[in-house]
Amino acid sequence: MNRLLIVDGHAYAYRAFHAIRHLRGPGGQPTNAIYGFVKMLEKMRATLDAAHAMVVWDGGLSTERMAMLPEYKSQRPEMPSDLRPQLDAIGEYLAAAGVASYCGGQVEADDYIGCLARQAAAAGWNVVIASSDKDFMQLVSSQIGLWNPNDKTGAIWSREQVLAKAGVEPEQVADWLALMGDAVDNIPGVPGVGAKTAAELLKQFGSATTLFERLSEVKSQKLRTALERSADVVRRNLKLVRLATVACEFEPEQLAIKPANRERLRELYGRWGFKGMIESLLQEPSERQAELI
């Protein structure tokens, strides 16, 4: 089965930036995020054996979500000044490496990734999403898996891993997030309802909609009252946490990893001071893969 690798661009750029410190190029420019991103992407490509890939970047916050909750993601700090210029450099690397990338105005990466993954799966493809974002657990199916960099086992997450992590099925993840909220996105949930309680409620009722239809069956008076008072919040949250429908087209020929422009890569690696990467360009592909694995 054909496999498509979709990478959460900003998530990996931030991860690389914080994992490697004080790395600078010959001109004194910061290069830590570039170096880490290149290394991580090379390892993913070698390990997952994907002939098709796309790196998706955030193009801004959804206007619909902002209208529903003005505080949406408002607590997030500004991008570090040393990281911002490195994003353009990573874009240069991707173009030279033959890997497709996408950034749409006011389109959150999560939504575009969700759209692309679903279309590819519907076309019979196997999809791996590389990200630690728990929102993507709602996409997991027999054809869509997650490559979580925080999971040291290196497993591609399926239903089993989602159930172990959240205590709910992939199709219940949006309801789970709506009930407990999501601090990462500054979405408040039902007071007193955490991950475990939300999972227990969904195990009993199946969905948030059914839960509110049968609210009288919740045994705890305190919990029932909290749910009653938060009914509108949960309904709003469902709209916030579900991956939105955006414009995207699954075009395999546009996502095929093309032969790298080796001269351009050598130029870029020289600019950034990546001597080891320049040397790797002279090796046979089999030798480079052996080093990565």
pLDDT digits (tens, 9 = 90+) for 46-97: 999 899 999 999 999 999 999 999 999 999 999 999 999 999 999 999 999 9
Amino acid at 9: G
Q: What band does 22 get if pLDDT is binned at 50, 70 and 90?
A: confident
Q: What band does 284 get if pLDDT is binned at 50, 70 and 90?
A: low
Question: In this prediction, what percent of the chain has a pLDDT beyond 70?
Answer: 96
For helices 159-166 and 173-180, the axis angle rounded to 10 degrees is 20
Tell me the sheet residues that pair with 24. Answer: 30
Give Cα 133 distance to the centre of its chain: 5
pTM higher than 0.85, yes or no? yes
Q: What band does 122 get if pLDDT is binned at 50, 70 and 90?
A: very high
CATH class of 170-241: mainly alpha
Question: By three-state DSSP, how is residue 22 classified?
Answer: coil
Q: What band does 285 get if pLDDT is binned at 50, 70 and 90?
A: low
Residue 277 has pLDDT above 90, yes or no: yes
Q: Tens digits of per-residue pLDDT, 146-185?
A: 999 989 898 999 999 999 999 999 999 999 999 999 999 9
Question: By three-state DSSP, how is residue 145 classified?
Answer: strand
Write down the mean pLDDT value for the chain: 94
Tokens, residue 65: 């979500």
Question: In terms of CATH, what superfamily is 3-158+244-288?
Answer: 5'-nuclease (3.40.50.1010)
Using a 10 angstrom Cβ sphere, with 0-12 exposed, 13-18 middle and 19 or more buried, the burial of residue 207 is: middle
Question: By three-state DSSP, how is residue 204 classified?
Answer: helix
For residues 87 and 16, what is the distance between their CA atoms, to the nearest angstrom?
11
User: What pLDDT does residue 239 have?
Assistant: 97
For residues 263 and 155, what is the distance between their CA atoms, to the nearest angstrom?
35
Residue 288 has pLDDT above 80, yes or no: no
Residue 287 has pLDDT above 60, yes or no: no
Determine which of 112-121, 184-193, 276-285 has the lowest per-residue pLDDT on average: 276-285
Q: Where are the domains of the chain?
A: 3-158+244-288, 170-241
- Position with higher pLDDT, 281 vs 256: 256
Contacts of 178 (CB under 8 A, 6+ apart): 189, 208, 234, 235, 237, 238, 240, 241
User: What pLDDT does residue 72 have?
Assistant: 96
- Tell me if 3-158+244-288 shares its fold with 170-241: no
HSE of 159 in the Cβ direction (CA atoms, 13 Å)?
Answer: 6
Beta carbons within 10 angstroms of residue 195's beta carbon: 17
For residues 77 and 90, what is the distance between their CA atoms, to the nearest angstrom?
21
For residues 248 and 39, what is the distance between their CA atoms, to the nearest angstrom?
28
User: What pLDDT does residue 292 have?
Assistant: 46
Amino acid at 256: A
